Structure 1
Amino acid sequence: MIDSPDQNQTPTGTTLTAREKRDLQKAQLRPLANLRPELYDEDDYSQDELETMMEMYNGTMASIEEGEIVKSRVLDIRDNMVVLDIGFKSEGTIPLEEFKDLPDLKPGDEVEVLLEHLEDQEGSVVLSKKKADFMRVWERIRVAYENDEPVRGALIKKIKGGVVVDLMGVDAFLPGSQIALRRVPNVDELLGQTFDFKIIKLNKRRRNIVVSRRVILEQERAGKREKLMKELQKDQVRKGVVKNITDFGAFIDL
C-alpha cells in the first residue's frame, strides 16, 4: 500500500506556507500531464481545485497494490508491445505475444493484468497479462489435479523433450513420452489439435504444470478391455485385426 505524504508539511516536519503548498501540489500533479496533456494546465486551477485533484490522485495511488490483478485500458499497440493505462501516473507495456488469446485487441479495450511493480528503474509500471492469466486459472487447475479430473488443452508448439500445451490460457508441458500410447513419428501433425489431458505434476512456485495424454488413453484402453472381457464367451465368433505375427502365433486386436 502507498502512503500519501502530509501535504501541509515538508519531510522534516516544517509547516508549508500557502504558496509552498500550492507549488508542491503542482509538482506532484504534473506527471498526470503525460497521460492527458490536453486536460492539464496547472495555471488554470484554483487552490480548491488543486486540493480536489490531489485527493483524487492520492486516492488512486492508495487503492493500488503490487501483486494484484487490476483492470487496464489499451492506449496503443506498437513495435510488438501493448501500452496500457491502469490509472496510475505512468503507463506500462506488455509484449504483444502475451495477448495471443485476444487477436482482435485494439486501443480502448479493457484487459485484466497483474501489477508486478508500481515503478521500475525508468519510472514505468511493470505489468503482466500472462501472470494474471496464470493466477486466474490456477485454482481451476489445482482442483482438477486434486480431483484427478481431465482438462482440455491444445498442442501449440514443439520444444525440446515434448510439446507446449495451451491449458486454459496457461502454458503446460507435455513430455514426448506422454503424447500417445506409442511413439509419435511426426509430432508436427498434432499441433493445433485439442485433446483431454491429466495433470501429473503441479508446482505453483515454479509455475510448472506437466500433463499427460497417455494416461487418458491408458484409462480408455483399460475400460474397453474390461468391457470386452465381460462380453467374451466360449465358442463366440468375433472380428479382429491382426496386429503382429510371431513364430509362436499372432496377436489379434478384438
Structure 2
Amino acid sequence: MSTAPTSPENSAPPAAETATPATPAGGGDEAKRGPIKVGRTSGAPSGQPGGGQQGGGQRRDRGPRPPKPQRPRREGEPQSANEREDSEEAALDAAAEQQRQAGRRGPVPVPNRRGPLSAELEAELKEALGDLSIEDVVSGKTSPAPSAGRVENETQVRAAVIEVHGDNIFVSLGGKNQGVVSVRNFETPPAVGDILEVTVTGFNAEDDLHEVNVAGGKVVGGDWTNLIEGSIVEAKVTAANTGGLECTVGGARAFIPASQVSLFRTENLADYVDQKLVCVVTEANERRGNLVLSRRGILEREKEESKKKLLGELEAGQLREGIVRKIQDFGAFVDLGGVDGLIHISQMSWERIKHPSEILKEGQKIRVRVDKIDLESGKIGLSLKNPEEHPWTGIEQRFPVGTIIRGPVTRLASFGCFVKIAPGVEGMVHISELAHNRVYAVQNVVKEGQEVEAKILAVDADAQRIALSMKATIQPPQKENTKKEEAAPVVEEPVRAPIVPKREGELKGGTKRKAGGEKFGLNW
C-alpha cells in the first residue's frame, strides 16, 4: 500500500503550539512583530489535530520555518491586511535609512575670513549697500540709507542736494528715498551736489517725500516735529515777567529765561515785547508742553565768530574805539566790537589813581590803544596812555639837580614820603631827609596832601626815580649862636612811649629777709 507524499500543509503538528524562534542577526521585521505562531489557532474544532490546545505540547525549537509559498494574486484582487502592513513597514525602513545616509555628510568646514563669500551672502550684501562701497561705509564718509521702505524718524543721514526749486531743497537719502527742506534754513542756499547733515523728522505720504531738518538750521514753522534741541527758531515776544520773556514759535508757546536774553544783565525786559528774536532751542518736550529758548546762545556764537575775525586783524599799537562794559577795582573791560579787552588801573593815567571810576564810567565811549595780545588765551591788554605824551620824556632838562620844587605829598611810607612834581612825575623824600634832627615816624613830620618844598638831589630817567630832600631847604641849627631867634627851627615830636613800662610797688628780694635755707638745715 503506497503512502502519499507529505506536503508542508499536511505536516502540521497535531496540536497548536506557540514557539519563539531564534532572532536572526540584525533584527529584521520578524523581531519587531514579536513571536511567530506555529500551527493553526482557529478554523478547526476543538479536539481535532491542529484545533485548540487539547492533546498538544510545545514544539521543539528547530529554527525559523521556511517561507510559505505565496499564491499569485489575481488581477483586481485587493491586498490582505498582512501584505499592507508589510508594505508600510518596508516604506518606513527605507525612509529611516535615507535619513541615516543624509546625516553622514562629513565635518562642517571652518569659515575663513580671507576666503570669498558665498553667492547668497554676496547678493544680500549688494542689496543692502546699493550704490555704496564697503570702503565708504568703513571710513564713515557716508551713511547708507535703506534702499527700500521709509527712513525711520530721528535718523541722521548725510544727504546730497539733488535739486533747488523755489523755496524747497530736495535731497537724496539713499536708494529711492528723497527728502525736502526749506531754503530759509540756510543763510546761503546750498548748490546741487553739496552734502548736508540732515535729520529725518517725518514723512509726507502724498508727495512720497521725507521731511528733514538741517542740524543747526532755522525752524520756520511751529510744528513740534521740527522743534528739536539745537535748532534755531524765530520767536515773537508776547509778554515779559520777572523770570524772563514769553513768546511764540509758530503755533507753539515758548519761554526765554532772563539769564538767556542777552550777554549782559537786562534791567527792563519789557523793552523786548513785540520784537522778533532769533533763538536756539535748549529744551523741547511736546508731551509736557515745555519749549525753552536761548537768545544768549546765538549772541555767543556771533561773538565767538567776531572774536576770531577781530583777533586776526588786531595788532599791538593800534588805536580802537570801544565801549566800557564793566568797571572793577583792578581795571575796566572794554568791548571792541565782538571781543573784550582789559584796561588795567596802571594803564589808565600817567598819574596815580585809587579807583578806575575816577576816570571812566560804564557805557562811556572811549578811544584806547592795543597794548598786547595773547592769541592762545584770547586776552587783549588795552591802555589809555599815549606814549607820545610820556611825562618822563626830557625829565633831566625839565628838572635839573639842585632845583627847588613845591608840591603836595601823595603817599606816606615807613621809609619816607612821595611828593608830586608834575603830572605823572613823583619824587621820594627819604625819612633821613625830612629834618635835621632824628625822625622816628614820617607822619610826625608831614601829612598826606600837605604842600611841601624840597630840593632835587638826583634824577634817574631810566628807572623813573627822583630823590628829594626837605631838610636841604631848611637852615641847619647853629650850636655856638646864643640868639634863639637866629637858630634853625627844631621839629617838635611827641614824647615816645617807653618800651618797658615803669614798675610800681615794692621790689622783691633784698638782704633784710630770710633766704629760706633754714628749712633744709642750712644756716646761711
Query: TM-score with structure 1 length normalisation?
Result: 0.48
Q: TM (normalized to structure 2)?
A: 0.27
Greater gyration radius: 2
Q: Which has the higher contact order (CA 8 A, sep 6+)?
A: 1
